[in-house]
Structure 1
Amino acid sequence: MITVETVCTLIAKKLGKKAADLTLDADTAFDSVGLSSLQIADIVYTIEDDAEVELDPSQAASVKTVGDLVNLIETTRAAGATT
């Protein structure tokens, strides 16, 4: 199961030392923490692999917060769109 904490951990790894000054939670917007679009895509791909789901690319591109991403994964799983 992918949780908010899982996503926040991945963000912290991508940000390195910059993450120490941030509070990461479900309301954290990806663009507010300084992630590039490539870093965001890498996080999404990692989570897809970990959760064994394949997200719709247009829906994944519209994700703005950590909570949005977790909700999209859970909705995708519930719809039976697993890989």
Structure 2
Amino acid sequence: MITAEDVCARIAKKLGGKAQAYTLNEETAFDSVGLSSLQIADIVYSIEDDLEIEFDESRAASVKTVADLVKLAEETQQGSAAA
């Protein structure tokens, strides 16, 4: 299971020293903190690896906030558990 705090920690790691300039929470939009599409993709792929799941590519591409990503991970986990 992934939490908003987990995702925020990954964002902070990507931002490095710049992370202190932002308040990271479930409402945080990835583009509002200056993450590149490559950095966002890296976060998404690392979550897939950690949870041993695979996101639907079109749904993963539409993720805009931390909460969106957490919801997608939960739904994907539930779907793979039911399969």
Q: If the length of structure 1 is used for normalisation, what is the TM-score?
A: 0.94
**Runs of 4+ deviating beyond 4 Å:** none
Counterpart of 2:57 in structure 1 is 57
Equivalent-residue separation in structure 1 for 2:21 and 2:36 (angstroms) = 18
What secondary structure does 1:71 align onto?
helix
The count of residues paired between Structure 1 and Structure 2 equals 82
Specify the code of the residue in structure 1 equivalent to 2:45: Y
Structure 2 residue runs without a partner (length 5+): none
Counterpart of 2:72 in structure 1 is 72
Bigger fraction of residues in helix: 2
Equivalent-residue separation in structure 1 for 2:62 and 2:21 (angstroms) = 26
- Return the offset for 1:33: 0.3
Answer yes or no: is 1:17 the counterpart of 2:17. yes
Structure 1 residue runs without a partner (length 5+): none
Could you tell me the percent identity over the aligned residues? 68
Equivalent-residue separation in structure 2 for 1:12 and 1:21 (angstroms) = 10
Q: If the length of structure 2 is used for normalisation, what is the TM-score?
A: 0.94
Equivalent-residue separation in structure 2 for 1:70 and 1:58 (angstroms) = 16
User: For each residue in 1:15-45, what CA deviation from the matched residue of structure 2 results, as whole angstroms up to 9, or x when unmatched?
Assistant: 0000011110000000000000000000000
Counterpart of 1:37 in structure 2 is 37
